[in-house]
Structure 1
């Protein structure tokens, strides 16, 4: 239950995957959008050479689920990222 006058914190869930490689990926949850961006960039750069070309990251704004546990309900995608291997830069869309 939410008390009047109090806002629930904004929560960001992030995932990095490389579907074309034998790599499990990374994920996390934070209350800071910029921290989520840093973590996605770090994970993309940390992927092995075989995973880097197809790896991508997604940041979603989420809310706590109604069950009261650690389940989240997606609010929407905040950003998508990939690593441009030619210039070694993380590209956000």
Structure 2
């Protein structure tokens, strides 16, 4: 089985810590640490730093949301909506 590499805009779910079970989008990477945002508690302007081993990557991918945010647009509400839609499709 091929190990999936984390990419900016990819979706993941926390598997360890007090945020276990929460969905995030990957806003960036710093070595073995992922910068995660959910658009509600962790905004793109203040992403959560989480060890790569403490998340499970999902097949969903939203690079357009992170790209528009880098252009200066506020995409937190769109990130929140995308993650809610992903959560609904997982149940």
Pairwise same-fold verdict (TM > 0.5): no
Q: Greater helix share, 1 or 2?
A: 2
User: Where on the TM-score scale, by shorter chain, does this alignment land: which range?
Assistant: under 0.3
Larger Rg computed on CA atoms: 1
Q: TM-score, normalised by structure 1?
A: 0.27
Bigger relative contact order, structure 1 or 2 (CA pairs below 8 A, ≥6 apart) = 2
